[in-house]
Structures are given as C-alpha cells and as structure tokens.
Amino acid sequence: MILRMRFQKKWIYWLALLLFTSFVHIEGSVVEQLDQYPGLSPRQKGVILINEFGCVSCHTSSQNHFKPRRGPDLSGLGNRVKPEWLKGFLKTPHHVSAGATHLDFPAEVHDSEDMSRSQIENALNHYLFSQASSEPDQNNDFEGSIQKGDALYHSIGCIVCHDASSTEKGGSWMQSVGGKYYPDTLRDFLLDPLKTHPDARMPDMHLTYDEASDLAAFFMNRVDAAMTQVFVPQAEEREKGQRLFGKLNCNACHELETQDEAVTMPSLEALRLDHGCLSARKGQWPQFALSKEQKTWMHLALQSENQWTPSERIQMQLTQFNCVACHARDGIGGVSPEDDPYFTSHDPNLGEQGRLPPRLDGVGAKLNPVWLRKILVQGAKSRPYMKTRMPRFGVEVLDELMELFATVDSSLPLSDIEMPRLNDTRRAGRDLAGTKGMACITCHSFKGTQSGAMAAIDMSIMGQRLTHEWFHHYLAEPQRFSPGTLMPDFWPEGHSSKSEILDGNAQKQMEALWVYLSDGYSLGAPSGLYREPMRLIANEQEAVMLRRAYPGVGKRGIGVGLPHGHNYIFNADKLGLAMLWKGDFADPAGVWSSQGHGRVRPLARQQISFPVQAQWQGMDSKSAPWPEMEQRQAEQKFQGYRLDAQRVPTFLYAIDETFVEDTLKEVESEGQWTLERTLHLKTNGKLGESYFSCCCCGKNPSPWSVPVSSKRCPQYRSDRRCGGLRCECRRR
C-alpha cells in the first residue's frame, strides 16, 4: 500500500499492488464484516484491514503485528483459470471479483516508458497465461453430482463464508467462480487450496475426490457451459510481460522468475495519512474499495505505536481468519441466527453440542498443545457427529495463534493426589467408566464403537486431547465450563455416589479415570460396551409390533414380528418395506435402557434390505425409468393401520386418489409357513399409470402395472432367503 505518491511518472509501481492484492484474495473477505463485531476496537479493526490488504508485503514496518501476505502461486496459472477471466480481472478487478481486498488504478495516467495501461495489461496477460504446462481440459461432462454438491455446500460450512445470496459473504464470487475455473481445475483447487494459496483465507475442508467433484459440479452449474476460446500467448508480448512483472514489483509477493529485484518502498511509519490512497482526495494513486469508516480505522492503526495484549492479538487473528463465524471467544463471534440452520448433526441425541462448534474460551488450558496443533494444522477430528467441518489452515499462519492460546489460557491449579498402585488405579478408572461406575460408556463411544443411544467424544482419545488439570476441573463442574452440556455432575459438591470405589473419594475417582483414559488406544474396554441383547419376540398367538427408529430407516419405522418367525420393517415415510428377516424379532435396549431417543436393533443374521425410496410412483409410461425420490411426495399419505385378531397390522395409505391396504401375514402351505403380501386397491377415480416396486427377494425388480384385475407379480421368485415370498395384487 502507498499512501504518498513518490514516483510521479513511474506509476507502474502502483499497478504492482493492484496485481498482488487482486490475486491474493478472491474467496470472499472479512473486510465487509468487521462492523458485525462490536467487541473489537477501531484500532484492532484497522490492523486487520492492513493485514488483509497485505500492506507490509511491500512496505516495511517496525510493528510486528503487521504481517505480510504471500500472493498465490502463479506457476501453472494458465492451466487453472480461463483466459477471458484473467483478462477481465486485470482490466477491472472490482467488477470481476467484487468485495475482495484488491485495489484499482486511475485509468488516465501513463508510465514513463510510453506504455498505456491497456498495453501493460495485455503484456502481463500473455506472460501470466504462458504459465501453463498443457492445454486445459474444457470437458463440461464433468463427473459430479449437483445435488450432492448442493448438500455439501449447505452442511460442511461453505455457506458460512460464501453465501451465494449475499455479496457480504462473497456471493458475487460464488456466482462467478464457474467463469474463472474449468471443472477439473476447480475440483483440484477445492481438494488442496493451500497448495496455490498458502496465505489465503480459503482453508482445506478435508474433501474427498468425489466431494470436491460434487462441489465443483454445483458451482459450475451456475454458469454458461460455452467453450472457452483457446488463448495462445505471443512470444514478444510474453517477454514484455515478464520484464514488467519484475518492474512492477510483483515478485515481492509472487514467486516467478524475473531479472529484477523487489523495489524498496517507504515504511508504513514514514507515510503521510493526509495524502494518497487512504485520504479522501482523488489523485494519481491506487484506489481501494474502502468506506470512510474503514479508512478511519486504518488511520488509527497507523498513527501510533500500538502495544497489544495477547488477548487482543487473539481476537484480531480469530477475526482475520473468520474463525468467529463459527466459534465464540471473549464475547466475540459465534454462529449467527442466519447461519444456525446450516449447523446440523449426524446424531440429534447430542442436542446443541452435537451440531454447534465449541466455544474457544480457555481452549489453551483445555487442549493439549500437541492436539491443538493437530486440529489447526493437520485437521484432527474428534467430533465425527458434527456435519460442519473444522478446516485446516497453513502452519505458518497459525503458529503465533497457538502460542498465544498457551500464553493467555494459563493452566488451572491442581493439588497433589495420593493414589494406590498404578494397576489398581487403572482398574478403578475402568470400573468408573463402565456400567459398574459412572456409566460413561452409555454416552461416549469407545474406539469408534457406540454402546448407547448417543456417541459423544470417543473416550480413547480424551487422554491425548485434554490437559490433566482441565479434565479434573471439568468433571467437578461441567456446567461451569460448558453451559448447557448434557454431561451430568457425578460429584455434586465433591460427593460421590459410588462409595465402594476408592472409598468414595471424588478427587481420587477423577484421577483414576484420567489414569485409565491416558492409556489411549491400548486401554481395555469398560463394562457395558458389549452387552447381552434384550429379546422382543412374538408368541404363538399374537404378533408383536414396535414403532421406533431402526437403522437405515429413521424414526418412522414400524417393526413387526409374526408368530412363526417372519419379521419385517415397514417404512411409514416411504410407504414400503424396508427389511425382511426370519428368526427372532428385535433388541429394543437402545430405546428402553439408554439415554436419548435410541434405535431398535433387528435380531437378523441374514436380512433382505430394500431401497430407501418411495415404492409407489405415478409415471407417464411403463418404460419410464424409476424415479429416485429422497422424500415421500405430497400426494402420498400414510393413514395408519388396523390390527386383526392376531394383532397383525394392515397398513393404510393413499397415492393420489388410490387407497391402498397393505398386509403381510404368514400362511401355512404343506406344513410350512411362508410370508404372503396382499395389496388391496380402491380408487375414486382413474388408476392410470401407477406402478409398484415389487418386493421379491430384495432385488427391486422392474415395477409392474397395477391396473390389472388380478395379477401375480411377474418378477416372483421362490427363494429360500425370503421363505418363498409371494406378492399378490388385487383390485376392488
């Protein structure tokens, strides 16, 4: 950044900053969002802006809180971006990437070498686009699911920074990103953004190849799929551009081969604030897209030597990297009401803690420094139930933050505790973690195995994640450290309910748990991880039915066990069968003896599972492909069931104007019991082309037409696995 014009004619030095700040930040910026954080002082906001604009990449400063920013790696640029995007970006960067932190330059000035701005832009365009090793693949038949990409965008955290409907969150970039990249280069960028943008704010989201492909397909769906014109850099223009790249001081931020050394710029402390790009005057200097208030913040940050406390420096760094969009610390940040719906969980039993990112207050005292580094740098994951992902940033930009956490969040005091022999202590901790003690295993998973209805943070990594002192204080007062937590207070006012373990001494019991959990993956399983199942079975006179959540079915599953060993689950959401099996019915322990909502476990050694989709559809023709519906359609309505004398249900539902009675019951034939499914259809209008997905053998064979007066399923097969299953359709 230059605040005072010192080179009256050689304006190309100004354009150097245009190039650096233009390329460096195109993913959306915190610049427009600083007014959302009243907890930050104006001076702090000024420092953040100066760092975001990368001022000290060219200017020196004696104040170490001003940090340089490397521009993106421009090698291979011609393979990554479209030539028309690069040309438009050099010409009018604000129009191409509105809301970013780059500057623009007055169009009326010329340099001392008699090259107009358009000539310089053209030469640079030829040079930068020549940084290509091969011709890019323009194939628009890209392998990626737009629907899956849409779901990822709205669940893993992308929308928190890049709201496609909001220019304040980079919406303009989200709408134009397809105009910049080719499908495959966008996928590659999403897979590893830090490779080409080490100092940018776009982190690594731990995407798989397929996920990156799906997101790329979702973004590319927003643009015209027209082919890009082939651009061939000219040798003469390329040489001019290479020379200009050095003269413009681009190599101060971008590592490309040049014959010129970086130009020395005046220090920030030596600049005049009443003249230049931060003044209200118009002149022959760069023009930033800054509001009057933002310029005032930057003035305050530059006017005096600033001495920041470690806490203030943490606030600035968390804001600069937009951590505050998800995490709160010292009253700043946290999930906004607008973004709250996008934070979801794989396990709703865990409540708010299962979907919202944790607060960062005291995180330096809470997390082991090694584990904190694993989270920030390597992307270690301890909350697999949370759909929003913790991103990975570059190690260089986070080293200081990790040191500041350790400095500010001092260790909590912990007195010495006299314990018995190590093996006895470890055994007591194991008892406390199991159902003989505090039953931690009921809510926490163990080495990836879930015992109860919920799976909070895995016990086997607690000794690696947490500090010894914090662990003790948290167990003693869980609500103090995590308001609203589901974690019970097992030692209220220092008293234990398990007097038979370590004489009921609360401190010793907590220490025993810590010693046991510190063994990590080598620790033995506590009692209760594996338990004998409860058995719910039908008797010889009546069926048994249990309406609860089942694996792969959800909360609208209706399980039925019939007297002669045939069992099934009816999906009341999709209006069809979900599973068939023979033998014992189900283990209801997950809903009868566990916390949370839980699930019923079918006691099936072999089962037939059916596609998770609606099994009745209205289609235009019999040859039309079977549609994949994630949700039951509005015209398909479940209307309950009625029970016969043996308590066998007949399910009642409607599709358009057709009413269905669906019964699965056991019938005896030649001394053997088989399962027979009967469908009765009644309509107030014309049946039309309605089709049913046949249930035989779980193969989901081709659907067959319903409007036949009496027809046996043409896909019928006698199969031992389903006991000679027979489908029959009768119209009345």
Residues 321 and 198 in one domain: no
What CATH number is given to the structural domain containing 480? 1.10.760.10
Burial of 404 (0-12, 13-18, 19+ CB in 10 A): buried
Question: Domain for residue 368, yes or no?
Answer: yes
Residues 427 and 453 in one domain: yes
Task: Quickly state the pLDDT bin for 513 (edges 50, 70, 90).
Answer: very high
**pLDDT tens digits for 144-153?**
888 899 999 9
pLDDT at res. 22: 39
What CATH number is given to the structural domain containing 169? 1.10.760
Residues 576 and 725 in one domain: yes
Residues 678 and 706 in one domain: yes
Percent of the chain with pLDDT over 70: 74
The mean pLDDT value of the chain amounts to 78
Q: Return the closest-CA partner of residue 575 out of 519, 653, 644.
A: 653
Mean pLDDT of 143-171: 78
Task: Name which residue leads in pLDDT, 462 or 161.
Answer: 462
Residues 399 and 516 in one domain: no
Residues 589 and 705 in one domain: yes
Q: Pick the most confident of 9-18, 221-230, 559-568.
A: 559-568
**pLDDT tens digits for 312-346?**
999 998 998 889 999 999 988 999 999 999 999 99
Mean pLDDT of 666-680: 87
pLDDT at res. 450: 87
Coil, strand or helix at 587: strand
Distance from C-alpha of 381 to C-alpha of 284, rounded to nearest angstrom: 51
Residues 320 and 446 in one domain: no
Element (H, E) at 235: helix 235-247
Q: Given the DSSP bridges, would you call strands 332-333 and 328-329 parallel, antiparallel or unpaired?
A: antiparallel
Check whether 88 has a pLDDT greater than 70: yes
Write down which residue in 349, 377, 408 finishes a domain: 408
Question: Domain for residue 264, yes or no?
Answer: yes
Amino acid at 89: F
Question: Domain for residue 365, yes or no?
Answer: yes
Mean pLDDT of 248-267: 69
Question: Domain for residue 233, yes or no?
Answer: no
Task: Quickly state the pLDDT bin for 257 (edges 50, 70, 90).
Answer: low
Residues 315 and 289 in one domain: no
**pLDDT tens digits for 557-567?**
999 999 999 99
How many distinct structural domains can be found in the chain? 5
Task: Name which residue leads in pLDDT, 624 or 426.
Answer: 426
Task: Quickly state the pLDDT bin for 686 (edges 50, 70, 90).
Answer: low
Task: Quickly state the pLDDT bin for 596 (edges 50, 70, 90).
Answer: low
Check whether 16 has a pLDDT greater than 70: no
Question: Domain for residue 132, yes or no?
Answer: no
Question: Domain for residue 613, yes or no?
Answer: yes
Count CA atoms within 13 Å of residue 166 on its CB side: 13
pLDDT at res. 144: 87
Task: Quickly state the pLDDT bin for 10 (edges 50, 70, 90).
Answer: very low
Residues 403 and 294 in one domain: no
What is the sign, positive or negative, of the torsion defined by CA atoms of 335, 337, 339, 341?
positive
Residues 155 and 28 in one domain: no
Write down which residue in 220, 240, 269 finishes a domain: 220
Question: Domain for residue 23, yes or no?
Answer: yes
Please give the DSSP secondary-structure letter assigned to residue 181. B
Check whether 137 has a pLDDT greater than 50: yes
Residue partners of 140: CB distance under 8 A and separation at least 6: 183, 220, 225
Distance from C-alpha of 52 to C-alpha of 1, rounded to nearest angstrom: 11
Residues 321 and 383 in one domain: yes
Task: Name which residue leads in pLDDT, 451 or 628.
Answer: 451
Check whether 260 has a pLDDT greater than 70: no
Distance from C-alpha of 189 to C-alpha of 195, rounded to nearest angstrom: 8
pLDDT at res. 17: 43
pLDDT at res. 269: 78
Residues 269 and 396 in one domain: no
Write down which residue in 373, 408, 443 finishes a domain: 408
Structural domain range at position 333: 310-408
**The whole model's pTM is what?**
0.71
Question: Domain for residue 55, yes or no?
Answer: yes
